[in-house]
A and B are shown apart, each in its own frame.
Chain A
Amino acid sequence: MNFKWIPIAILTLCFMAVLPAQAQEQEAEQPRKPGHYNNNRFKQLYQEFSTPNQYRSANGAPGPAYYQQQADYDMTLELDDATARIYGEETITYTNNSPDVLEYLWVQLDQNKRARDSKSPLIEASGAFPAEMTGNFVGKYMGEGFDGGFKIDWVKDANGRPLPHMVNRTMMRVEMPNPLASGDQFEFSIKWWYNVPDHTIDRARSGYEVYDDGNKGFVIAQFYPRMAVYSDVEGWQNSQFWGRDEFALPFGDFDVSITVPADHIMDATGVLVNRKEVFSKEMMRRFERATQSFDTPVMIVTQAEAEAAAANGVANGIPTAKKTWRFKAEMVRDFGFATSRRFIWDMMAVKIGNRDVMAVSMYPPEGNPLWEDWSTRLVASTLESYSRMTFDYPYHKAISVHAKNQGMEYPMICWNYGRPDKDGTYSERTKYGMFGVIIHEVGHNFFPMIVNSDERQWTWMDEGINTFVQYVAEQDFGAQYPEAIAPNLVYPSRRGPAKSIVSYMSGDQDELAPIMTKGLNTYNFGANGYSKPATGLNILRTTLMGKELFDYSFKTYAQRWMFKHPTPEDFFRTMEDASAIDLDWFWRAWFYTTDYTDIGVKEVKKYYVTSKINSQMKAMMASRGMTESDLPSLVYLVEEGSEDFDESMRTQTLNDVVSLQEYLMDKMTPEERAALKTPNYFYEVTFEKPGGIPMPIIAEYTYADGTSERVTYPAQIWRLNDKSVGKVVASQKEIVKIVVDPDEETADIDTSNNSWPKEEKAGEFQTFKNNIKGQ
């Protein structure tokens, strides 16, 4: 240790004593400013947060009167492969656990986003242009468009009596014979059908893809009328589905029977309860083997078998024989399934806590070789990482299905992109795109499928939080499978590191929205809903809270809200409650504003210690009619280059300061004196903060002998002055360099002011150009 952080008290006192005189002189000329509200950046979020209540406690946990509704579904479906239509009939049992009496129920009709009378295209601004691509023109003005949307045949109560219902775009209000009292259940049924869209054209979150051989692969979701959420926060969450903001769904139990052509292979949310009916004996044997295989996926349907079934479908047409697959799921918020005759299927087991979970992949041959190599391993690794960060994955399986261009999540099942070229080679982008999306979508099982936040309103609560854990899981995967990421030594995560968000946060303020904005109304959706919140959590974890406190608090949040509906405040409050770190300033800056970080070194003054009175003290004494003999024993600090400075001071040490020596000799024993440090170098460092976010100052001091030392001044150093702050540094060695945020961990948008003496760094362009020339 060669640095004394608490300067000898007497020195500090004297140093401070010279400052008020200057301040007084300036004050007289300032006009009086008006009063103001509390604008301190460390003010608590009382205005932004709602008052805690019986439903949601002040500590961020569910309150004693917390409730949530339940919606159980009993469904029978048939998929017509040839016409790409789904016909369904469902019985919904809705339980009103709220204290309120409900006069009506709201059911979500997401497919209506694609109905011919959908208003979604109408909110997309357009202009008349001198020229337009022919295809666009035809699509926009000449075609009738895809006939999407739910066709509701009927809505009936348990006695078969028709129920009045009103469709308002993507929401349907169902009237009950009597209002539904608190604690009561209501059972009703809906029959419907719809045209499944080609998701590769329509870019829908579900639909089908036509492979080159003409066979289809179906990834099906949002396929049934789904109950909306009724909660203490929103009442009915019936904000329309415009196409971007995802879903708010209550938990419930599902019993779903799906009939498809007999040659299809299917997997879905829930336990396959009639496995013996739909599996061949060979498939059963392979499945049993997969449940015992913890390191290598076992093929349930091989590529050769998938290709043979596909070829047979092309040669002989879709078989008329059908098979019904039946799945049961408990405590899920949704249901999805994937089915095709052209799917390869593999599985392996992964130990989560004391349970075995199946990691599953389903993919057409187009996905290979990437998919058979990595998909199932990625699923298993992701479940392990997320379970470590939150809670043991509670479901019995997690499936990754390969669908072109898709990246979409449902309970236990998700669709993912990542397709090699036809010759089986693939680019780094394809590979890391596939790795990233599988980790991300499987991770969504935790957020929002289990920690069931409201996606319609708060994109960041599932996408942002999930993207943060995705970063942790990617790093884990890279460490677990170095051969998958070679020649990289660490997984090249795109989102997470603070540095990666700088370009977004330094953008034009007119094009930025705070994270706490509904997704539909943000400008740069990906950065706003995914990257910025994920980066914020990563900064909390690595810099502001530390891994131990962060991980404990994050886990507390996940466990408190597992199988419940949290709000942003529940998250913010829990993170503080479990860590004893006041983070209101960070939530405000990072989530509620578009502020950015910019902290630098403004000025460094070097001081020398002397017992000779300096001119500032002389001036102060003169103004108060004092003489030097009126003063107690003092030491004086003289700025390098000032009128009191002379070159001989450079070689002086503290031993040469007579008043200090006298003091020490009088007050201390020789032993105590020997234990003292002798900081011969004194600096006043002024840090500046052009940015709005009050981040900690991470200062790296480099000494003349080449060693360096880091000091982190907590963010609260900015509490009384938001623009600049001075710090006296007493050192035993000469300081030759000061760098703020040397590891770029605070998302500082302008690093040109981060060094003293100022460093002229060659720009990225010049550096590249010089390298090219050097080759």
Chain B
Amino acid sequence: MSWQKALLFLLLAGTLSSLQRHKFYVSTTNMEYNIQATSLEIICTLFTDDLEAVLRQRYDPKIKLDHGDNRTQNEIYIKKYVLGKLSLLADQKQVPLEYIGLAYENDQVKIYVEGREVNDFNTLFVSNKILFDLSSEQQNIIHVKHRAQRKSLLLFNENPNGLLNFN
């Protein structure tokens, strides 16, 4: 099944069950190409408790993200997790990703990642599997701004990748 088809199905049918009226398994990742800096600026916004839950399962059941003291150790886990789940190809070339930092905003956490030394590109392949290991209902929304165009992807468990064309 092509991702477009899967996306269409998902959108038409809506997989949200009753309870998601208050609980959404959704993350948003905004990317923007900065031509002067030859960098891809990436901000992943996740629900803090979702990230906490997945880190607890993977690394340490005692992890507490925004109400504990182990900020430095937590950030090592977060860096490892996010960089392991996010992968980008600009014109089929792997984009080297650097973790910049994070900020908590109410119940969400924003994670800043930079794609370094990225030349102006026509296509961007995005793979974002963040939190897919936590919930099969997780959806990752991707917005990319490049060449005055804004393109979006909806990624989910069975369909974690997408290709955007800015030609």
Residues of A within 8 A of B (CB): 123-129, 133, 136, 203-205, 243-244, 405-407, 417, 421, 425-430, 432-433, 437, 440, 463, 492, 494, 503, 506-508, 510-511, 520-523, 525-526, 530, 763-766, 768-769, 772
Contacts and interface: CB of A to CB of B under 8 A. Distances in A.
B21 A432 contact: no
Contacts of B52: 427
Counting from the closest, the 9 A-B pairs by CB-CB distance are A429-B107, A125-B9, A765-B41, A407-B22, A125-B13, A127-B1, A203-B19, A129-B158, A203-B17
B100 interface: yes
Given A406-B19, A407-B21, A765-B32, A427 B49 contact: yes
Contact of B17 (A243, A433, A764): A243
Contacts of B34: 763, 765-766
A131 to B, nearest CB: 9
Interface string B90-116: 000000000011011011101010100
B18 A766 contact: no
Contact of A430 (B12, B49, B101, B104): B49
Nearest to B16: A525
22 contacts: A125-B12, A127-B1, A127-B5, A136-B136, A203-B20, A244-B14, A244-B21, A427-B64, A427-B67, A429-B47, A430-B49, A508-B152, A510-B11, A511-B11, A521-B14, A525-B20, A764-B43, A765-B34, A766-B34, A769-B114, A772-B100, A772-B101
B49 A494 contact: no
A507 B158 contact: no
B65 interface: yes
B48 A507 contact: no
B66 to A, nearest CB: 5
Give the one of A128, A521, A769 with max B CB within 10 A. A769
B59 interface: no
Best-buried of B13, B19, B42, B100 by chain A (most CB within 10 Å): B19
A437 B22 CA distance: 8
A526 B17 CA distance: 12
A521 B66 CA distance: 36
Contact of A523 (B14, B22, B114): B14
Given A426-B67, A427-B66, A437-B22, A768 B100 contact: yes
B103 A768 contact: yes
A511 B9 CA distance: 12
Given A763-B32, A765-B41, A405 B19 contact: yes
Interface in B52-86: 52, 64-67
Contacts of A772: 100-101, 112
A511 B1 CA distance: 20
Chain B interface residue number, banded:
35 or more
Contacts of B48: 427-429
Given A124-B15, A203-B19, A428 B67 contact: yes
Nearest to A775: B101
Nearest to B37: A766
B21 A127 contact: no
Nearest to A522: B14
Interface string B138-167: 000000000000101010001000000000
B152 A125 contact: no
A503 B28 contact: yes
Contacts of B35: none
Contacts of A430: 49
Nearest to B104: A428
B10 A125 contact: yes
Contacts of A421: 64
Interface string B22-36: 111000100010100
Contacts of B41: 763, 765-766
B134 interface: no
A82 to B, nearest CB: 26
A214 B11 CA distance: 39
B106 A494 contact: yes
Nearest to A204: B18
A126 B104 CA distance: 35
A503 B141 CA distance: 11
A244 B22 CA distance: 12
Given A429-B107, A430-B49, A765 B1 contact: no
Nearest to A510: B11
B64 A769 contact: no
B106 A429 contact: yes
Contacts of A523: 11, 14
B6 interface: yes
B67 A425 contact: yes
A494 B105 CA distance: 10
B113 to A, nearest CB: 9
Given A125-B10, A520-B14, A765 B49 contact: no
B47 A244 contact: no
A133 B20 contact: no
Contacts of B158: 127, 129
A81 to B, nearest CB: 24
A598 B2 CA distance: 34
A507 B152 contact: yes
Nearest to A508: B152
A314 B66 CA distance: 36
A140 B17 CA distance: 16
